[in-house]
A and B are shown apart, each in its own frame.
Chain A
Amino acid sequence: MAEQIIAPMNRRSLFRMIGMAAGSAVMYQAMTDLGYAGESGYTGPTKLSGDVKGASVLVLGAGLAGLTAALELRNAGYKVQVLEYQHKAGGRNISIRGGDTVNELGGFKQQCQFDSGFYVNPGPMRIPYHHIALLDYCKRLNVPLEPFSIINYNAMIHNSKAFGGKPKRYREVETDFRGHISELLAKTTAQGKLDQSVTKEDAEVLLQALRAYGALDRNYEYKKGALVSDHRGYDVDPGGGLSWQSTDSEPMAMSELLQSRLWTGLLTGHEYEYQMTMFQPVGGMDMISAGFVRALPPDMIKYNCKVTEVKQDANGVSVSYVDAQKGGAVQTATANWCINTIPATILSQVPMQIGAPLKNAINSLAYAAGFKAGVQMKRRWWEDDERIYGGITYTDQPVALISYPSTQFMQVQKGVVLGAYTFGPHAFELTSMTPEERMKVVVDCGAAIHPQYRTEFENGVSVGWHRMPWTLGCFAQWTEANRAKNYDALCAIDGRMVLAGEHASHLGAWQEGAIVSALDAIKRLHQRVVAA
């Protein structure tokens, strides 16, 4: 079997492969079992009514889950204190800009050298239109959003082992795939081979549909010509005057297209989580956490706090912590209740007075490997040379994809592309490298598609999520079996404490999951407080 491109390296590729191997029924079952297919259940701004009786809450972690809990609990009248390990809020809601330092476990250190105004989002980078809790907070917190281009018909799909390693345009792959399938089905229909499945009347309409859908000619054939070029593009575009004659493009042969696996690069943008319109905050993903911080009192979040122990009794929690950088004397924070949003990878190492079900649930979670790299280019060659304005190129190489900036068209000379976004074995391998070694891979892979990488590369910054001191991985990796066994226990209130975060949601790895998890946790906690 020819080497297969695994173009869209996202969580959905998992379901895609299951769907291909086992059929869509199994795929949907897997999706619902893993909790990726359902809606968030968000129904508008949280209203926690009733007397909170002067209760206090300690929030551990100032990522989106912790910030959401802090904001809403404070609005409801609770006394709130937040402890955060880093020197800033946001957690994985993060952007890296010029001058920022990326400190990795092991002492590896990167100083981002992007020019002013450029950034990379090494964590989440796009917001689906149906993540309505997150979108609501952006609106409430005055965080302007702009479109994130997910599909670009002029971006590339690349398999280093197909078509001599030359990339094809999305529009070429998309049109040819559609055309060949339509021709096949039309021929089959016309030959009467579908008579068992469709009525004569339906077959007539089906043929009409296939002809339009697949850009087929009057003989139901998909072949080179003006009609097909109107879909897949021309070799020479139509122009004006006397000297500019258009030239039709040549479709790829069906067998070669199938075997190239380039069609796998067509799928991501059609899936619910990646359908247009997607959004990004103007100026960087961390504008969202900045919006939350603006809405909170300046002294509510205490930074540089490394939690070392969590105790609790019938009246409340007592959390021990030390200075995250200097260590030193153990300090203690107490409250009536605790919202704990620390990632499970960290939490499984913190002594806590909790029941066995919660402990087992925390211990059951390891985090996925994930890797991203941002690359600053001296000029916007993807726009000026190749007319790629935003969107994503997919490749079978270790970097998995190249995502071009969705903004600043015709405004600036330089630009930062996302030069790698990969999971699985490649993410482990890239994480294991030094930052310099990683950037060499990123440039080599990029240059295989865009030779301009060689001359226009200026600098880059990378994040291997297992080297991030405060997460030890990218996101919680639930298996179907483990979710059935441990998810409810992970989310249940244990004495005076309840967990929240993407790991305690059915929207794993998404910011929406962190937010709706927090909203659900504080709602349940509030019910106890008011009922007491």
Chain B
Amino acid sequence: MKSAFIGRVLGSALLLSLGISSGAYAQGAGAGGGRGGFTEQGGEAIYKNVCQGCHMPDAKGAVGAGMYPALAKNPKLEVAGYPVSVIVNGQKAMPALGGMFSDQQVADVTNYIRTHFGNSYKDKVTPADVKAARP
């Protein structure tokens, strides 16, 4: 077990200095409480347990003082590398989640959102694609 915050607060620089690679870190986290990474397997489980907190169960996003973008019918998902990069590295208010997901998990959830919620992109993201997107 490593603190959740190692992956999230410190970023890759300190992870490397500790000899902990972010990918191994997420995969090495055990099941149950106090884990540093997400344990959900499969795109749907990951979406429903993690992503929908902000992007909402219908993937239509939400608007308050700021907004969470809709993933439903979102043309920005066409190029698979874009959502992969945003999930792994973050973008503005979207936290970088690469440290808490394995390559397989990122690939699975990317493939899930690109084939659900009114999106139907046929090409699949592989764990190797995700690995290449990591900093």
Q: Which residues of A contact B (CB under 8 A)?
A: 1, 3-7, 9, 11, 13-14, 16-18, 21-22, 26, 30, 34, 85, 105-106, 160-161, 306-307, 324, 342, 344-346, 348-350, 363, 366-369, 395-398, 400, 423-426, 428-429, 431-432, 464, 466-473, 477-482
Taking the complex as formed, is B133 at the interface, i.e. its CB lies under 8 A from any CB of chain A? Answer: no
Write the nearest CB–CB distance from B63 to chain A, whole angstroms: 8
Write the nearest CB–CB distance from A64 to chain B, whole angstroms: 17
7 contacts between A and B (CB under 8 A): A13-B3, A349-B93, A424-B8, A425-B38, A432-B48, A432-B51, A467-B54
Tell which of A21, A346, A480, A481 touches B18, judged by Cβ atoms closer than 8 Å. A21
Q: A6-B1, A105-B64, A423-B5 are in contact. Are A22 and B96 (CB under 8 A)?
A: no
Give a binary string over B18-39; 1 marks a CB under 8 Å from any A CB, 0 the rest. Answer: 1010000000001111111111
Whether the Cβ atoms of A13 and B5 lie closer than 8 Å is yes
Whether the Cβ atoms of B35 and A425 lie closer than 8 Å is yes
Whether the Cβ atoms of A464 and B53 lie closer than 8 Å is yes
Chain A CB within 10 A, most for which of B4, B10, B34, B49: B34
Compute how far the CA of A26 lies from the CA of B94 in the bound complex, rounded to whole angstroms.
29
Compute how far the CA of A480 lies from the CA of B9 in the bound complex, rounded to whole angstroms.
8
Q: What residues on A are CB-neighbors of B63 within 8 Å? A: 105
- From A481, which residue of chain B is reached at the shortest CB distance? B13
- From B90, which residue of chain A is reached at the shortest CB distance? A366
Q: Name the segment of B65-73, B75-83, B114-122 touching the other chain.
A: B65-73
Chain B CB within 10 A, most for which of A18, A423, A432: A432
Q: A3-B30, A105-B64 are in contact. Are A424 and B50 (CB under 8 A)?
A: no
Write the nearest CB–CB distance from A493 to chain B, whole angstroms: 23
B interface residue count range (under 10 / 10 to 19 / 20 to 34 / 35 or more): 35 or more
Q: What residues on A are CB-neighbors of B41 within 8 Å? A: none
Compute how far the CA of A398 lies from the CA of B67 in the bound complex, rounded to whole angstroms.
27
Tell which of A161, A363, A398, A470 touches B65, judged by Cβ atoms closer than 8 Å. A470
Q: A26-B17, A30-B14, A366-B93 are in contact. Are A14 and B30 (CB under 8 A)?
A: no
Write the nearest CB–CB distance from B115 to chain A, whole angstroms: 20
Whether the Cβ atoms of A397 and B33 lie closer than 8 Å is yes
- From A33, which residue of chain B is reached at the shortest CB distance? B14
Whether the Cβ atoms of B65 and A324 lie closer than 8 Å is yes
Q: A106-B56, A161-B32 are in contact. Are A477 and B64 (CB under 8 A)?
A: no
Write the nearest CB–CB distance from B34 to chain A, whole angstroms: 3
16 A-B pairs besides A5-B33, A424-B8 with CB distance below 8 A are A7-B34, A9-B4, A11-B5, A17-B3, A85-B64, A85-B65, A307-B65, A345-B66, A346-B66, A348-B66, A349-B67, A349-B93, A400-B33, A425-B35, A467-B54, A480-B14
Whether the Cβ atoms of A472 and B10 lie closer than 8 Å is no
Whether the Cβ atoms of A11 and B53 lie closer than 8 Å is no
Q: What residues on B are CB-neighbors of A1 within 8 Å? A: 1
Whether the Cβ atoms of B53 and A424 lie closer than 8 Å is no
Whether the Cβ atoms of A11 and B9 lie closer than 8 Å is yes
Whether the Cβ atoms of A106 and B57 lie closer than 8 Å is yes
Compute how far the CA of A478 lies from the CA of B10 in the bound complex, rounded to whole angstroms.
8
Write the nearest CB–CB distance from B83 to chain A, whole angstroms: 16
Whether the Cβ atoms of B95 and A477 lie closer than 8 Å is yes
Whether the Cβ atoms of B13 and A480 lie closer than 8 Å is yes
Whether the Cβ atoms of B34 and A5 lie closer than 8 Å is yes
Write the nearest CB–CB distance from A490 to chain B, whole angstroms: 14
Q: A6-B1, A22-B18 are in contact. Are A428 and B62 (CB under 8 A)?
A: no
Write the nearest CB–CB distance from B9 to chain A, whole angstroms: 5
Q: What residues on A are CB-neighbors of B92 within 8 Å? A: 345, 348-349, 363, 366
Compute how far the CA of A431 lies from the CA of B37 in the bound complex, rounded to whole angstroms.
16
Chain A CB within 10 A, most for which of B36, B53, B63, B68: B53
Tell which of A18, A306, A363, A396 touches B34, judged by Cβ atoms closer than 8 Å. A396
Compute how far the CA of A105 lies from the CA of B50 in the bound complex, rounded to whole angstroms.
15
Write the nearest CB–CB distance from B116 to chain A, whole angstroms: 16
Q: What residues on B are CB-neighbors of A26 within 8 Å? A: 17
Q: What residues on A are CB-neighbors of B65 within 8 Å? A: 85, 306-307, 324, 342, 346, 469-472
Compute how far the CA of A3 lies from the CA of B35 in the bound complex, rounded to whole angstroms.
9
Q: What residues on A are CB-neighbors of B131 within 8 Å? A: none
**CB within 8 Å of A: which B109-134 residues:** none
Chain A CB within 10 A, most for which of B10, B32, B52: B10
Write the nearest CB–CB distance from A174 to chain B, whole angstroms: 20
Whether the Cβ atoms of B50 and A6 lie closer than 8 Å is no
Write the nearest CB–CB distance from A163 to chain B, whole angstroms: 15
Write the nearest CB–CB distance from B49 to chain A, whole angstroms: 5
Closest 10 pairs (CB-CB, A-B):
A469-B64, A424-B4, A6-B34, A479-B11, A4-B1, A14-B5, A105-B62, A345-B93, A396-B33, A431-B53
Write the nearest CB–CB distance from A202 to chain B, whole angstroms: 34
